[in-house]
Amino acid sequence: MFPSRWVVLVLLFLLIRLPLLIFGLPATLSELHHVLLGERLHQGFTLYQDVYDTTAPLSAAVYWLLDIIVPRSYLAHRLLATFLLGYQAFLLNFIFNRNQVHPYKSFVPALLYMLFGSIFFELDVLSSLLIGHTFVLLAVSSLTAISKEASNAGRLFKAGFMLGLAALCYLPLIWFLVLGFFAVIYFASGAFRSTLLMLTGFLFPFSVVLTYFLYQNSLGAFLEQGLTWSWRFAFAFGLPFGQVMTIAALPLGMLVLSFLSLPLINLGPNYQARFLQFMLIWTIIVVLVLISGHDASVKGLIVLLPLLSYFGIFLFSWWGNRLWIAELLFLVVIVGVVAVRYNPLGLVYTALKIEPKRVQVQDHPKYQQVQGERLLVLGPDLNYYQNNSLGSPYLRWDLASPYFGRLNSYESLFTILQDLRNNPPSYIVDQQNLMPELQYKLPLIFQRYEKVENGPFYRRVR
């Protein structure tokens, strides 16, 4: 390949992505959540036991490491997310070119990956899905490198291991284990032995994580919050579903057109036809991951990027001598991506009825009243934490509300008492008007607080 083309590709990617990262929008609520989680773990607390959250353990470890290196840095999160997306694009392009899955080698798959991976600012977030998806592509790299003649034990174990790491970053990615089974059928020999090797690799990181939480006396909490919670099929929308689909209209439209162009393409070698079947199964797996994922936001477009990269090149290659049509189509894609990402003159989001503030941290005076303190927010509004730290295990209100919503239960009161008695927060933000009842039923903890004027704040005075 021509190195100059890769340099131009990287520069185009950075030109589209970096200005908004460095000088653009405020942090998102997802980023605030990740920063608070990493900060809490950095303070020595144990995931799931001392901080109630459903973030997968390896993703939480990444946020913890980032807080150690650069505390509370949204820019560090965004730069790492940019690096991972670029790495995924080049890795997938390498896989396609190495295996000659397209009629000719090119850098178009990487270009499409980077373009659609930058279509909306929410894709700049260092999400659990983005981290886990990196390991999925590393697994695919090993799975598609196996052959029917050579010894594949190392590659198969590595592929399973990478799929295990992916699931420990974002549990719904466990569906890609099914894709691994089909890869063994398509590309390897000795299907039963190969499958056992891959399963062994997959289970190894899970056994390590289970052992760690067992020694931390938090195995039950991990099983409840880290594993079973992800299968509740309860979607949390940052933006309304209609707005998510509006943003996804351009990549989904291109994916549909790419599927329609498949009958017009002559794949040539038998291997290319088998790889096409492999990618069609990948499409089904993507649907399963999206259905299983509890975070129904624009960030879910990440799992569509390999499909757009693979099928999209067929859409641009079947025009024959009418190359101007492909060039015009590509120009439309670039203009659409840039328009949705940068919202020029504020016109695009208004016309499309997209409300980005729903997923952004709000700079409102009521959130600035208390700064530099340890908070407990009795409610779902994370904005109060933007200038403060987490002062309790209750990071997610949907995990805390089963306790604070059942104050007539002795078990709930005892759990709250155990969680707060040794390290109570400096301030409590009472969004749910629960403090009068809490002060009556748990005076040992909550009688230490007195109301600050007329707002929702209670300050610890003793």
Residue 451: in which H helix or E strand, if any? strand 449-451
Pairing of strands 427-430, 389-390: unpaired
Residue 80 burial (CB count, 10 A): 17
* CA 438/CA 444 separation, integer angstroms: 10
Triad 28, 57, 226: Cα angle to 5°: 95
Q: Tokens for 263, please give them.
A: 């009958």
Per-residue pLDDT of the chain (462 residues), as tens digits, is: 456 778 888 888 888 888 887 777 788 999 999 999 999 999 999 999 999 999 999 999 999 999 999 999 999 999 999 999 999 999 999 999 988 888 778 888 999 999 999 999 999 999 999 999 999 999 999 988 866 545 577 888 999 999 999 999 999 999 999 999 998 888 776 667 888 889 999 999 999 999 999 999 999 999 988 888 777 666 666 788 889 999 999 999 999 998 888 877 776 667 788 888 999 999 999 999 998 877 778 898 999 999 999 998 888 776 556 667 778 888 889 999 999 999 887 889 999 999 998 899 998 888 988 999 999 999 999 999 999 999 999 999 989 999 998 999 999 999 999 999 888 999 999 999 999 999 999 999 999 999 998 789 999 997
Burial (CB < 10 A; 0-12, 13-18, 19+), residue 51, is buried
Residue 213 — left, alpha, or beta (φ > 0 → left; ψ -120 to 50 → alpha)? alpha
| Relative orientation angle of helices 29-42 and 74-99, to the nearest 10 degrees | 100
